[in-house]
Amino acid sequence: MILSTHAIVGGAIASLFPSHPALVAVAGFASHFAIDAIPHWDYPLLSISTGQGADNRGLKVDRDLLFDLMLIGFDALAGLALAIWLFATPATIGVITLGACAAILPDPLQFAQSLFPREPLNSLQRFHYWIHSRRKLSWPIGVSSQAAFAAAVSGLAMAIR
């Protein structure tokens, strides 16, 4: 899944338990793995390796890396902004941000593991790879299915609240 989808789902979860930040953090983090098990589309990265066996220790600072970082940053910030816009009130903005960030966190940890292959990151990466869907959707259906999924989760969270 793209980071925006993870952030919106994490924000939706947080909106259901705004007075329980520890639960929000755990549920947001766990949601990442649950929705990564669904077949989806991921945008291609030019310089950063992902998945089992990824090794980014020899990463070069070049144009491709800067593009990847800008794309990842835009994706994460767009998701965070959408989660806050959809679910936050002045009283809940912190917990919504927590839920969205916790839902995104496994992917940066995957990158960290490729740089520093040690425990507990190795075990987390093995689990992340194991649960991640092997079925990849193509560009148009993959993007629209994630948008529809995020909209459905958002609508459900708003209906429950």
What integer pLDDT is reported at residue 94 of this predicted model? 98
pLDDT-derived band at 156, boundaries 50, 70, 90? very high
What integer pLDDT is reported at residue 82 of this predicted model? 97
What integer pLDDT is reported at residue 4 of this predicted model? 97
Average pLDDT, the chain: 92
What integer pLDDT is reported at residue 127 of this predicted model? 95
Q: 149-157 — which CB contacts under 8 Å span 24+ positions?
A: 149/5, 149/35, 149/38, 150/4, 150/5, 150/8, 150/9, 153/8, 153/9, 153/12, 154/8, 154/12, 154/86, 154/87, 156/12, 157/12, 157/13, 157/15, 157/16, 157/87
51, pLDDT greater than 80 = no
d(CA 129, CA 7) in angstroms, rounded, equals 20
What integer pLDDT is reported at residue 41 of this predicted model? 87
Whole-structure pTM over 0.85, yes or no?
Answer: yes
Q: Which residues lie across from 136 on neighbouring strands?
A: 40
Greatest mean pLDDT among 50-54, 81-85, 113-117, 133-137 lies in: 81-85
Contact 41, 133 (CB under 8 A): no
Which strand (E) or helix (H) includes residue 71?
helix 63-87
What integer pLDDT is reported at residue 55 of this predicted model? 81
Task: For the chain, give every domain's residue range.
Answer: 3-160
What integer pLDDT is reported at residue 106 of this predicted model? 97
